[in-house]
Structure 1
């Protein structure tokens, strides 16, 4: 699977105390146009699994080509991720990473058990696009491909 290039996202939500949580995710894909649905998956062993499994909404922050540091930050355990990056709460009360190439705010549409992961399907309720090149992951390396890769 490491030879398959993917985009890189940070998926965010808030916990029951309205504290932001998030993690780096590259298992992101489009599902449907009508209604507009996307999906991503989370490992059941991740510390934030229970929070994401029961959340009613989440944001998919599509990282920009110059955000490999944000990717690493949200993939690192034991660090206060949100105090080490710029972000804000959206009108939908979801954490949005500043400088992202795009953001898809979603309400949870369905969850599907899939082995040691859970697939979360979200119905897109808001889209923002910065029209910048996305961060890509291929063979354990991050980078961007110049071109017209926009949301």
Structure 2
């Protein structure tokens, strides 16, 4: 059932004493506007999470439609995920902000809750931005998809029935 629910993809990244660490994430979401909070889920067995937790901060880069390969590189464990990946320090935390994404949020970790075999991580947004007009990377039924605008009469509007 959940494979039928399309999701955007972000890379959650931080910098600790060993350098940059990060992972691909399909569960990045807005939580609150006041205060400005986001959340993501991470597997309790994640090799990247302990480093991000120690850093106490992260930057979430929402990946662009052409970044499927980058997403797959950040989905593996044990590799140097940042090899050849262009990134700059996020403005407040210095966490890696990846090039080519459609949006980003520079955050400090506010809370971590247990949720079964995952952790629910809440971050407070310290800075955010968009980086262009490109389409986001969308994952649905095990594949990356493109967003398409509806065509025909009534496209672009919704009616309640």
Q: Could you tell me the TM-score, scaled by structure 2's length?
A: 0.85
CA-to-partner distance for each residue in 1:68-91, whole Å, 9 max, x for gaps? 011011012232111132112223
Whole-Å separation in 2 of the counterparts to 1:78 and 1:119: 23
Whole-Å separation in 2 of the counterparts to 1:23 and 1:94: 13
The answer to whether the aligner puts 1:78 opposite 2:69 as a matched pair is: no
Larger Cα Rg: Structure 1 or Structure 2? 2
Corresponding residue for 1:99? Answer: 100
Corresponding residue for 2:126? Answer: 125
Give RMSD over aligned pairs: 1.4
Matches within 5 A, 1:43-62: 43-62=43-62
Matches within 5 A, 1:1-151: 1-17=2-18, 19-92=19-92, 93-130=94-131, 131-146=133-148
Aligned residues: 146
Q: 3-state DSSP class of the match of 2:23?
A: strand
- Residue ranges of structure 2 left out of the alignment (5+ in a row): 150-161
Cα pair 1:62 1:101 within 8 Å, conserved: yes
Where does structure 1 differ by over 4 angstroms across 4 or more consecutive aligned residues?
none
Whole-Å separation in 1 of the counterparts to 2:16 and 2:85: 18
